[in-house]
């Protein structure tokens, strides 16, 4: 782009909008021109900064009675220039989060209008199975299901096509050309069963919906755990259970083969990141306490990783590493102990998984009928000096409880729990 062209185009854009008022100007990915000034490596005013300056001038020249509305969108609000966000320019900021259960159901209904959906398909059930999906993910899921139905010569989209479409969106297409040896299949089966068994035994993990040893993307197999409802916060026990679940596959390989493989590398990466967040962001260890450690830099041109500043000493860094190691080791040991206590169930499920290659929620529940549930952890307040109260919280009345949740709770069967006795320390 020639020098001054960007600023000239901004002037022309606003002139056209005013000439055609009432009008709406929509700028998508505004971070391309609205990035914070002064972050260029050359130190001068580049063309982008001149374009941004002209945009700010035009926004200041808006007449309150004028009928031109300016709307912009970005997925990087953290890198925008503060001058863009001050009152008088972009007065209102509306964060658009991922859709909740109702939103996913409505989005699926919209995208399913022009597609032949079979009579037995419950779109709300698929909305429950897709927490965290964006609108684009849901549209892609239905498009994938339509393509699968066409390839199979089906006249309508059924549950089998939608199930496969969810797997494709979450984990990638099947790698049918990737042929594993029988030994690798057995290791993978034990690995995935280890994940599933730990998730089932712990009280604060999400239900296991699927276990497969069919290679997808870069994974040789995967275990799908999904929440029953949308969750907007996470407790310490839920995070500790996630750590143990992440290390369940590695623990299974150690227990059975005494020689762990590289298949757990992604699990270890996720567990380490979660443990670090528990220590440095969430204040969930006694040694560190409720302190936020590490500050985000205001240099967006360096990137998200390099923009992180360490605002603590070497001794604190060593203590952080020690706390992370303790969390990981405790979760690792907990997963190992769960598998030892449920060895017969693990062997039985592995045999079935090797035969069928994929197990659904109902099949998994039948196999796990006799799993020994792990005992609850001791109460935790962050310090021995803060004694937890024995007074229970107030009850959730029907007036406070959402109607949908109340209906689900009344219909949900009570699960008997076989709890292993906790050993005294």
* Sign, CA torsion 128/133/136/141: negative
Q: What φ, ψ does residue 81 adopt, rounded to 5°?
A: -70, 135
Contact predicate 300/78, CB 8 Å: yes
Strands 358-360 and 295-296: unpaired
**Catalytic-role residue among 49, 58, 192, 334:** 192
Contacts of 99 by beta carbon, 8 Å cutoff, 6+ apart: 106, 107, 133, 134, 135, 138
Query: Which run of H or E residues covers position 256?
Result: helix 248-257
Contact 258, 286 (CB under 8 A): no
- Which SS3 state, helix, strand or coil, does residue 149 take? helix
Token pair for residue 213? 């040893």
- Kindly write down the DSSP assignment for every residue of 317-371, as one continuous string: HHHHHHHHHHHHHHHHHHHHHHHHHTHHHHHHHHHHHHHHSEEEHHHHHHHGGGP
CB atoms within 10 A of CB 160: 14
Task: Count Cβ atoms below 10 Å from residue 164 Cβ, excluding itself.
Answer: 18
Q: Report how far residue 94's alpha carbon sits from residue 78's, in angstroms, rounded to the nearest whole number.
A: 14
What's the token pair of residue 306?
A: 């390099």
Using DSSP bridges, classify how beta strands 23-28 and 68-73 pair: parallel, antiparallel or unpaired: parallel
Q: What tokens were used for 166?
A: 């969810």
Q: How far apart are CA 145 and CA 34, in angstroms?
A: 39
End-to-end CA distance of the chain: 70
Report the distance separating Cα 346 and Cα 342, nearest Å. 6
- Number of residues that this document lists for the chain: 425
Q: Is 254 annotated as catalytic?
A: no
Computed on alpha carbons and rounded to an integer, the radius of gyration of the chain in Å comes to 27
Active-site positions read 192
């Amino acid at each position: 782009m020639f020098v001054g062209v960007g600023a000239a185009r901004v002037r022309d854009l606003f002139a056209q909008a005013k000439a055609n008022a009432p009008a709406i100007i929509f700028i998508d990915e505004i971070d391309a021109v609205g990035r914070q000034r002064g972050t260029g490596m050359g130190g001068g005013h580049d063309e982008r900064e001149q374009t941004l300056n002209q945009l700010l001038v035009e926004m200041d020249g808006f007449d309150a009675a004028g009928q031109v509305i300016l709307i912009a969108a970005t997925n990087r609000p953290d890198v925008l220039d503060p001058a863009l966000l001050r009152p008088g320019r972009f007065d209102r900021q509306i964060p658009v989060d991922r859709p909740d259960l109702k939103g996913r159901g409505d989005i699926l209904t919209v995208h399913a209008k022009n597609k032949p959906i079979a009579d037995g398909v419950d779109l709300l059930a698929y909305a429950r199975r897709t927490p965290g999906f964006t609108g684009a993910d849901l549209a892609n899921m239905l498009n994938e299901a339509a393509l699968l139905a066409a390839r199979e010569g089906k006249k309508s989209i059924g549950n089998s096509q939608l199930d496969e479409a969810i797997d494709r969106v979450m984990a990638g297409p099947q790698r049918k050309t990737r042929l594993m040896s029988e030994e690798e299949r057995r290791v993978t089966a034990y690995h995935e069963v280890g994940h599933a068994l730990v998730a089932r035994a712990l009280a604060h993990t999400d239900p296991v919906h699927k276990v497969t040893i069919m290679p997808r993307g870069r994974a040789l197999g995967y275990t799908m755990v999904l929440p029953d409802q949308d969750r907007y916060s996470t407790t310490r026990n839920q995070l500790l259970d996630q750590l143990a679940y992440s290390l369940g596959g590695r623990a299974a390989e150690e227990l059975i083969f005494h020689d762990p493989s590289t298949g757990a590398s992604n699990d270890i990466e996720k567990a380490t990141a979660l443990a670090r967040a528990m220590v440095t962001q969430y204040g969930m260890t006694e040694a560190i306490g409720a302190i936020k450690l590490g500050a985000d830099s205001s240099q967006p041109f360096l990137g998200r990783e390099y923009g992180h500043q360490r605002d603590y000493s070497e001794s604190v860094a060593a203590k952080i590493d020690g706390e992370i190691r303790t969390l990981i080791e405790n979760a690792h040991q907990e997963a190992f102990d769960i598998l030892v206590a449920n060895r017969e169930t693990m062997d039985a499920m592995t045999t079935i998984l090797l035969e069928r290659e994929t197990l659904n929620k109902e099949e998994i529940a039948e196999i796990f009928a006799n799993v020994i549930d792990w005992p609850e952890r001791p109460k935790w307040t962050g310090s021995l000096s803060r004694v937890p109260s024995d007074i229970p919280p107030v009850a959730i009345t029907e007036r406070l409880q959402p109607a949908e949740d109340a209906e689900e709770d009344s219909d949900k069967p009570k699960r008997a729990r076989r709890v292993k006795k906790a050993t005294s320390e």
